[in-house]
Chains A and B, each alone.
Chain A
Amino acid sequence: MAERSFKSEVEDLRKGDGDTFTGEGILALTKALLENGVGYVGGYQGAPISHLMDVLADAEDLMSELGIRFEANANEAAAAAMLAASVHYPIRGACTFKGPVGVNVASDALANLSSSGVTGGALIIVGEDYGEGSSIMQERSHAFAMKSQFWLLDPRPNLPSIVKAVGDGFELSEASNTPVMLMVRIRSCHVTGSFDTRANKRPPLTVREALANPRSDFNRIVLPPMSYVHEQDKVKNRWPAAEAFIRDRGLNEIFGQGGRIGMVVQGGMYNGVIRALQRLGLADIHGETEVPIYCLNVTYPLIPSEFLNFCSEMDAVLVIEEGQPAHIEDQLAAFLYRAGAQVRLHGKGVFPMAGEYTGQVMLDAVTAFLRSAAPEMLPAAIRAPNLVKPKLPDLTKVVPVRPPGFCTGCPERPIFAAMKLVEQELGKHQIAADIGCHLFGSLPPFEIGGATMGYGLGPAANGAFDGGGVRRPISIIGDGGFWHNGLSSSITNMVFNKSDGLVLVVDNFYSAATGGQDVMSSRAENATKATQNPISEAVKGVGVTWVRQIDRTYDVPKLRDTLREALTTKTPGPKVIVASSECMLNKQRREKPLKAAAIKQGRRVEAPRFGVDEAVCTGDHACMRLSGCPSLGLKHTGDPLRDDPVAYIDQTCVGCGNCGEVADAAVLCPSFYRADVIHNPGPVERWWAGVRTSIIGRLARRRAAKRLEFSA
């Protein structure tokens, strides 16, 4: 079960002609796919399009009514490869994943697909993970379109534009026999708004029907001599066809007219540009602009005639292209040069080469451009500001950074606590990390992990150390990464090369970092997916002999002992520890309502929560350095004798047990306690508890009576 359910929103996807849909970008994308007669969809989760996968999964019933096949692909390569169905069959297909990392994984299939060309529209919806909130290296997916010659859409970030881009994308794909990538940015995935709906369309040919009439054509195979033909076809036929379609259908837009200056913007940047112009008094609330804008809803290919036409009467043009390299700006510059144009091109320079175009960056750069190219357009207050900006207090040294970390009760916390303890014992080890929540283990307080080379590549990243040495190399991989491609790229790589290293598989029952989607080894029953395939069986299947399965990661001493054994055993070959406990976020979501209902119904329920004895805690914070749990905080006691804040546990504690285990395993301090409140106890239990409480109370009071007691 995914972290977020879209079951109720999915009903809106049934809306027909003349209705209005109001909601999030990802739902609008799904609705657009259905309206455009898509025949099959798939993808792989990852921010910012994780929720698109969740919407698709929740809409599976609706899609199967329409004869649409939904595939939760094993990884992005599998998702892109699935588009092969559109090579021979006139079926529209779509897949989604994050960019650019997902596109990296998919690029082999995308290159083959682009060479073969498509008959049915093939749409790749990429959530570009760039700028604030991004969790990956800062790159662009743009270059993939350029190298493989497929087309890239970057619609304006509002629902009607995004929905229109889906339809345009399919048609462009079919008109040019080329796959089309539709790029949405982090915020446009979750931007809300409204659009007018159309009825959902059943695909003219379903994938099921296609199987009844299989097709093949060796001309589409990527082998010589056809591959040479494909390249020529791309340049001579598909590209011109695409250009014609883009031009004839007016996919790119022009706002405003006249004037000596203009702006060329990526569709996704449009709203930011308008806001900057609005703040300068050069555009109104509806985007009526005094500076003409050529809005590139298609960022590849660029249409030279359109562009040259736009700026033919202009002195200067500003290109607004986020990220680097500046592919668009470079190409537009080449267009101008070849045409012998005299227009001055601005872009990178007034804009920073790298980094997100935030509101301030946009305002500063647009102002700088206007100041140099058309200062008379700027309001006097901006042209010659005579207001001295008040000096604001500097809090940068006060406010702590707050990187993501393990949630309250996360089952991965004790794993890293155990790792830290083992390292204290055996010394620092070479550790390679992977992608997933467990990567937070590389941050303080654990600092367990070095480089990360990609999803499922943690153990492979230790390949150079497979030969062994004084201390064994350790790698960490999650269940998501394991099934994404870790089993083949990482585990078999180790087995084949007779690695001496240790792999720690962090199995939390889900692809947790992306929102709790099911994977092969998930424990949940899933009506449409085969779950419950143990990771330990899979690694044994590929030849690992030293395998340990730990079914409760909160058992820190056991984990520590198992890790120590793995690092010291004489057994040759790779060592694999599978540490399994359910993602606490998902577990709480599942169990909390059940527990509340059980208490209400009068059934016996134990509710555990941890606490700290303030008087026993010495404020050394050793527990913090083995935890970092959000529910474990610090507070000043108000006692003048104590300088340092002491630990306390707030009401969000879920009683996972890590505090007690760590206090025990690391021999920390006796200030932790666990209180289990028994709701709806049986009569005998209640009576016996009463007896014990009264005896204990009497003993305690007897002692108290003989001495001085200080109470607040």
Chain B
Amino acid sequence: MSVHESLEPRKGEARLETILKVAIYAVGGQGGGVLTGWIEALARAQGYVCQATSVAGVSQRTGATIYYLEMAPSSGRIPVFSLMPAAGDVDVMIAAEWMEAGRAIIRGFVTPDRTALIASTHRNLAVSEKMVPGDGLADSTAVREAALQVAKRLIAADFEAIAVNAGSVISASLFGALAASGTLPFPRHAFEAAIRTGGKAVEPSLRAFAAGFSAAETGDPRATVSTVEMPAPKVSGPADLLADWDRLTVRAAALPGDTLAMVLAGLRKVVDFQDLDYGASYLARLESLAALDHAPFDLTREAAKHIANAMAYDDVIRVADLKTRDARFIRIRGEMAAGDNPMHLTEFMHPRGQEIAGMLPRRWGERVEASATWMARLDRWFGHGRRVRTDSLRGYLMLYVLGGMKRHRLGTQRHAQEVAHRERWLDVALGYLDGNYALAVEVLRCRRLVKGYSDTHARGLSKFDRVLEGIALVAGREDAADWARRLREAALQDEKGKALDGALATIHSFV
């Protein structure tokens, strides 16, 4: 047997290195095909032999989809190219969406020895992320950490926003980033020539190309996570009200611990919801809680957050008020790029009998809600879908008047119900305070379960009740707070509460 001792790969490996392999991961409908076409035209125009492949199928309908190109300098003989990327053998990976970058990493197409990863940081959410009643969004930071670790080079920016701002689509800005990356041995003007040869939407594409190019050159891939930081809102209004507001903020600042940001956010919310007196009562409630609290004042901070949400509940008056504000019209006109063109604005409202009864004065409302006949009547009169045109005088006035009912709000049936529910919840939380501080905080956090309108709201309330019942069962245990958190998280996982059922069943199995 002849033994060839070879430490290095042999035949042709040097020439093999001249094959450039480019893969594109996209979400169906993003125009990955256009980008592929440009790269192909570019390579051929630059004297390369190039082969592109794609997987066309139903994945083009919003599913994850992949394109692949190989190219090599022309030598007269046609090279044998592969039709699909292989793990550990990709020079350039272009991901047109952030989680697709993650998918490429999972597949092993991004490796430290060779792969330049060009990825857009924007998210195009998968259905599974959106369906979750709580926060189901995938962890973008994990992808970033992995990308920084496995890519030879990472070029990341929000290429979607860059393209949209340039009036184009992401394929153009990514093409610009590819040019800037220097991974293909072609000059910038050759890239631009490929766009011109393509002949479609040339000018916007070139704009987005240029923007993508400079973003890739100047951007820091570590710094491109767009963390939404709300600037501190400015407050304006009549001088006497501003003076009152200042007094409230002084009170807020007097609350202990690192709670001010949360308390101010809560205060703004309840004042915006009702008025300054309401804000004062919010602070009074917090002050009474803070008196029972101790460092690090988790209880006060969580109370500041959740009591504000509970006090600024979603009723018809609030919705009507929010929908008839000047700032809203200005914002929507801007978002829709309406310019000075007229704009119709249609609101989709579907009040039910309960909402109407809730707006009645408490005694009256109680009696109406107790009467099936009256509730049926209210449903018949009011309970159907309404499309309210808030750009028309009639529709606007209707909501304007509803929004103006704020001053009667504190005497309504709905308000009485909300107060009762809130106090019950706070009583439960405070009941645990002496024995188990952490549990009391967790109970406060359960308020997060109550949200939405009509059926969703009712389901939220029922989940809230069931979680509190579950907590009561384990309240005596040392790990009660853990269980409370687990129950709440389970309740936020799915609509019907299957995960919560499971968690409750577990509790029942050991109590």
Q: Do A and B come from one complex?
A: yes
- Chain A positions near chain B (C-beta within 8 angstroms): 22, 47-48, 50-51, 129, 132-135, 157-158, 186-193, 270-272, 274-275, 278-288, 290, 358-360, 362-363, 376-377, 379-381, 390, 392-393, 395-396, 398-408, 437, 440, 443-445, 513, 557, 606, 609, 611, 613, 615-616, 618-622, 624-625, 628, 630, 632-645, 651, 659-660, 663-670, 672-679, 681, 685-686, 689, 692-693, 695-697, 699-701, 703-712
Contact partner of B89 among A192, A279, A625, CB < 8 A? A279
B185 on the A face (CB < 8 A) = no
B 303-333 to A, binary, CB cutoff 8 A, 1 in contact else 0: 0010011000010000100111111110010
B372 on the A face (CB < 8 A) = no
| A279, B10: Cα distance in complex, Å | 10
Complex contact A667–B350 (CB within 8 A): yes
Complex contact B143–A710 (CB within 8 A): no
Instruction: Specify which chain B residues have a CB less than 8 angstroms from the CB of A270 in the assembled complex.
Output: 80
B 455-471 to A, binary, CB cutoff 8 A, 1 in contact else 0: 11100100000000000
Minimal Cβ-Cβ distance residue in A for B330: A697
Contact partner of A445 among B79, B83, B131, CB < 8 A? B131
Contact partner of A616 among B54, B86, B322, B335, CB < 8 A? B322
Closest CB in chain B relative to A362 CB, distance in Å: 8
Closest CB in chain A relative to B124 CB, distance in Å: 7
Closest CB in chain A relative to B108 CB, distance in Å: 7
Q: What are 23 A-B contacts with C-beta separation under 8 Å?
A: A133-B56, A187-B84, A191-B52, A192-B52, A192-B53, A284-B16, A285-B15, A285-B16, A286-B79, A393-B105, A444-B131, A611-B332, A634-B130, A640-B230, A644-B448, A644-B492, A651-B164, A659-B348, A669-B453, A670-B348, A673-B332, A693-B342, A699-B396
Considering only residues 262-279 of chain B, those with a C-beta below 8 Å from chain A are 262, 265-266, 268-269, 271-272, 275-276
Minimal Cβ-Cβ distance residue in B for A665: B385
Instruction: Specify which chain B residues have a CB less than 8 angstroms from the CB of A390 in the assembled complex.
Output: 112
Instruction: Specify which chain B residues have a CB less than 8 angstroms from the CB of A399 in the assembled complex.
Output: 99, 102-103, 106, 138, 143
Contact partner of A405 among B54, B127, B238, B336, CB < 8 A? B127
Instruction: Specify which chain A residues have a CB less than 8 angstroms from the CB of B2 in the assembled complex.
Output: 376
Closest CB in chain B relative to A622 CB, distance in Å: 4
Given contacts A281-B8, A668-B454, contact A376 B234 (CB under 8 A): no
Minimal Cβ-Cβ distance residue in A for B449: A620
Closest CB in chain A relative to B274 CB, distance in Å: 10
Nearest 6 interchain pairs by C-beta: A359-B86, A284-B12, A281-B9, A133-B55, A620-B452, A689-B342
Which of B63-71, B211-219, B288-296, B425-433 is the interface stretch? B63-71
B 1-14 to A, binary, CB cutoff 8 A, 1 in contact else 0: 11111111111110
Contact partner of B126 among A395, A402, A695, A699, CB < 8 A? A402
Minimal Cβ-Cβ distance residue in B for A698: B326
Which of B145-153, B411-419, B435-443, B477-485 is the interface stretch? B145-153
| A380, B231: Cα distance in complex, Å | 61
Contact partner of B3 among A51, A358, A376, CB < 8 A? A376
Contact partner of A709 among B235, B346, B349, B457, CB < 8 A? B235
Minimal Cβ-Cβ distance residue in A for B169: A652
B223 on the A face (CB < 8 A) = no
Instruction: Specify which chain A residues have a CB less than 8 angstroms from the CB of B328 in the assembled complex.
Output: 613
| A673, B319: Cα distance in complex, Å | 12
Complex contact A645–B319 (CB within 8 A): no
Complex contact A133–B57 (CB within 8 A): yes
Complex contact B345–A675 (CB within 8 A): yes
Instruction: Specify which chain A residues have a CB less than 8 angstroms from the CB of B44 in the assembled complex.
Output: 22
Count class of interface residues, chain B: 35 or more
Which of B202-210, B386-394, B502-510 is the interface stretch? B386-394
Complex contact B19–A285 (CB within 8 A): yes
| A609, B338: Cα distance in complex, Å | 11
Minimal Cβ-Cβ distance residue in A for B326: A700
Complex contact B391–A696 (CB within 8 A): yes
Instruction: Specify which chain B residues have a CB less than 8 angstroms from the CB of A708 in the assembled complex.
Output: 235-237, 241-242, 245, 271-272, 276
| A198, B147: Cα distance in complex, Å | 49
Complex contact A667–B52 (CB within 8 A): no
Instruction: Specify which chain B residues have a CB less than 8 angstroms from the CB of A606 in the assembled complex.
Output: 344
Minimal Cβ-Cβ distance residue in A for B97: A402
| A281, B335: Cα distance in complex, Å | 57
Contact partner of A132 among B3, B55, B82, B327, CB < 8 A? B55
| A689, B343: Cα distance in complex, Å | 8
Instruction: Specify which chain A residues have a CB less than 8 angstroms from the CB of B105 in the assembled complex.
Output: 392-393, 395
| A632, B84: Cα distance in complex, Å | 33
Complex contact A620–B456 (CB within 8 A): yes
Complex contact B391–A693 (CB within 8 A): yes
| A360, B387: Cα distance in complex, Å | 57
Minimal Cβ-Cβ distance residue in A for B231: A712
Complex contact B322–A402 (CB within 8 A): no
Minimal Cβ-Cβ distance residue in A for B393: A692
| A393, B326: Cα distance in complex, Å | 49
Contact partner of B99 among A287, A363, A402, A628, CB < 8 A? A402
Contact partner of B350 among A280, A283, A376, A663, CB < 8 A? A663
Contact partner of A360 among B28, B87, B149, B352, CB < 8 A? B87
Complex contact B234–A711 (CB within 8 A): yes
| A85, B228: Cα distance in complex, Å | 67
Minimal Cβ-Cβ distance residue in A for B109: A359
Closest CB in chain B relative to A674 CB, distance in Å: 4
Closest CB in chain A relative to B304 CB, distance in Å: 9
Complex contact B11–A288 (CB within 8 A): yes
Instruction: Specify which chain A residues have a CB less than 8 angstroms from the CB of B142 in the assembled complex.
Output: 393, 395, 398
Closest CB in chain B relative to A278 CB, distance in Å: 5
| A284, B79: Cα distance in complex, Å | 9
Instruction: Specify which chain B residues have a CB less than 8 angstroms from the CB of A624 in the assembled complex.
Output: 127, 130-131
B58 on the A face (CB < 8 A) = yes
**Known pairs A643-B135, A677-B336. 12 more at Cβ < 8 A?**
A48-B57, A133-B56, A133-B57, A187-B55, A191-B53, A513-B61, A630-B62, A673-B332, A675-B335, A676-B344, A689-B391, A708-B271
Instruction: Specify which chain B residues have a CB less than 8 angstroms from the CB of A290 in the assembled complex.
Output: 11
Closest CB in chain B relative to A359 CB, distance in Å: 2
Closest CB in chain A relative to B310 CB, distance in Å: 11
B 83-106 to A, binary, CB cutoff 8 A, 1 in contact else 0: 111111100000000011011011
Minimal Cβ-Cβ distance residue in A for B37: A192
Complex contact A271–B80 (CB within 8 A): yes
Instruction: Specify which chain A residues have a CB less than 8 angstroms from the CB of B236 in the assembled complex.
Output: 708-709, 711
Closest CB in chain A relative to B133 CB, distance in Å: 6
Complex contact B82–A271 (CB within 8 A): yes
Contact partner of B146 among A134, A393, A638, CB < 8 A? A393
B451 on the A face (CB < 8 A) = yes
Complex contact B348–A673 (CB within 8 A): yes
Instruction: Specify which chain A residues have a CB less than 8 angstroms from the CB of B88 in the assembled complex.
Output: 360
| A621, B131: Cα distance in complex, Å | 6
Minimal Cβ-Cβ distance residue in B for A289: B11
Instruction: Specify which chain A residues have a CB less than 8 angstroms from the CB of B64 in the assembled complex.
Output: 402
Complex contact A700–B228 (CB within 8 A): no
Contact partner of A359 among B19, B89, B233, B455, CB < 8 A? B89
Contact partner of A641 among B123, B149, B309, B338, CB < 8 A? B309
Instruction: Specify which chain A residues have a CB less than 8 angstroms from the CB of B189 in the assembled complex.
Output: none
| A270, B59: Cα distance in complex, Å | 26
Complex contact A677–B6 (CB within 8 A): no
B495 on the A face (CB < 8 A) = yes
| A664, B396: Cα distance in complex, Å | 19
Complex contact A400–B99 (CB within 8 A): yes
Complex contact A641–B269 (CB within 8 A): yes
Complex contact A186–B453 (CB within 8 A): no
B158 on the A face (CB < 8 A) = no
Instruction: Specify which chain A residues have a CB less than 8 angstroms from the CB of B376 in the assembled complex.
Output: none
Instruction: Specify which chain B residues have a CB less than 8 angstroms from the CB of A660 in the assembled complex.
Output: 346, 348, 387
Instruction: Specify which chain A residues have a CB less than 8 angstroms from the CB of B1 in the assembled complex.
Output: 376
B 341-376 to A, binary, CB cutoff 8 A, 1 in contact else 0: 111111111101000000000000000000000000
Closest CB in chain B relative to A111 CB, distance in Å: 28
B139 on the A face (CB < 8 A) = yes
Complex contact B133–A670 (CB within 8 A): no
Complex contact B87–A640 (CB within 8 A): no
